Amino acid sequence: MSVRIIGTGSALPQKEVSNEDLARLVETSDEWIRERTGIGSRHISTGETVVSLAAGACKKALENAEKTAAQVELLLVATCTPEQGIPCAACQVQSILGAENAVAFDLNAACAGFLFALHTAWAYIEAGIYQNALIAGSEVLSKIIDWDDRGTCVLFGDGAGAVLLERGTRPGILGFVQHSDGTKGQVLQCDSRKLENPYISESQYAPYVQMDGREVFAFAVRQVPACIAEVLERTGLTPDDVDLYVLHQANRRIIEGISRRLSVDMQKFPMNLDRVGNMSSAAIPVLLDELHRAGRLREGMTLVLSGFGAGLTYGACVLRW
Ligand code: ACO
């Protein structure tokens, strides 16, 4: 039995914001942002939502897989920026798509969210509970960013990507690992709603992303190669057996650090962060969709997907395309 990705899709907000545009908002420059992060521009919502972007990406993934919404059995949306606490984004996407036969719920593991949702769906399908799953990573990070904070506002973008996963006969997902370290949660955090009730006088509230960039950088460069080595060992592969490493698009220098630690050429690390920035849980599925549509994913190729982010959460997956 195997569980394979049979379709991909993505959706980005219309508005593109360049580094030069940001230099008109905060004291920064195209040179600083490119040099430290590799980011050149990003898409920012002027009305698109986590739900509308996820629905757009899911529709394209279904078209790509030549399936109908009614055939979907499990619908997961990975997001850390939902518009509403209730109902969950996945149920709203279900309604838009007309995926009336699906069970739908959200999953939040920040930038590792899409990967954890993929693993969750794999487990359901592998257990024989569902035959397929539509999985989206969707974020509108622009609403939780302090646009006066040059240390964070230059990093992020909005968007969504989706895949359709199905039980099949050809090899697909070969193995995965996932980890969490809640003791380091303070390095990247953002409050949701303020605690307000008649029984308290005052509560702390920090509704925008707060980040210790250096800690995040050090964590990613240390833990991601270890996690990739772990999943490769589990699947009996070496770093050289992998055709492409599709990593969370946080920062070019992080990806370069990971490639050095694995002793793998940068050619094997496709990137789109120069055009879209860091889209948290949407980063991996959007990149996967771009690669797929560009014809860069050929049948039988071995891919490693790896996501890492707030929580801290991190994981990696090996799959045969
Ligand atoms: N433009 C110009 N100067 C800036 C900017 C900016 N946008 N942001 C910060 N600076 C300044 C700082 O104020 C500081 O100035 P000072 O020396 O006068 O105090 C100087 O640049 C150096 O600041 P640092 O924060 O030390 O810069 P660093 O080299 O660490 O780069 C960065 C910051 C890019 C955030 C880096 O730490 C990083 O890439 N960290 C990883 C974080 C990340 O990718 N987070 C994404 C979310 S998490 C995830 O997706 C996994």
Q: Is 43 a catalytic residue?
A: no
pLDDT tens-digit readout, 266-313: 999 999 999 999 999 999 999 999 999 999 999 999 999 999 999 999
pLDDT tens-digit readout, 83-136: 999 999 999 999 999 999 999 999 999 999 999 999 999 999 999 999 999 999
pLDDT tens-digit readout, 23-63: 999 999 999 999 999 999 999 999 999 999 999 999 999 99
Q: Is 248 a catalytic residue?
A: yes
What lies within 8 Å, CB to CB, of 234 at 6+ separation is 175, 177
Q: Tell me the pTM.
A: 0.96
Q: What is the position in ligand 1's atom list of the atom closest to the CA of 151?
A: 8
Under 8 Å between Cβ of 320 and 172: yes
Give me the catalytic one of 80, 88, 91, 111.
Answer: 111
Any idea which of 142-146, 173-177, 204-208 has the lowest mean pLDDT? 204-208
Q: How many other C-beta atoms can be found within 10 angstroms of the C-beta atom of residue 265?
A: 9
Minimal-distance CA residue to ligand 1 atom 32: 213
pLDDT at site 201: 86
Q: Is 179 a catalytic residue?
A: no
| 219 CA to centre of ligand 1 in angstroms | 15
Tokens of 7: 């379709």
- Among 17, 68, 277, 252, CA closest to 152: 277
What lies within 8 Å, CB to CB, of 248 at 6+ separation is 111, 112, 278, 283, 284, 306, 307, 308, 309
pLDDT at site 196: 87
Minimal-distance CA residue to ligand 1 atom 33: 213
What lies within 8 Å, CB to CB, of 311 at 6+ separation is 109, 110, 112, 180, 181, 182, 184, 185
Any idea which of 188-197, 256-265, 283-292 has the lowest mean pLDDT? 188-197
| 313 CA to centre of ligand 1 in angstroms | 21
pLDDT at site 1: 65
Report the pLDDT averaged over residues 155-173: 95
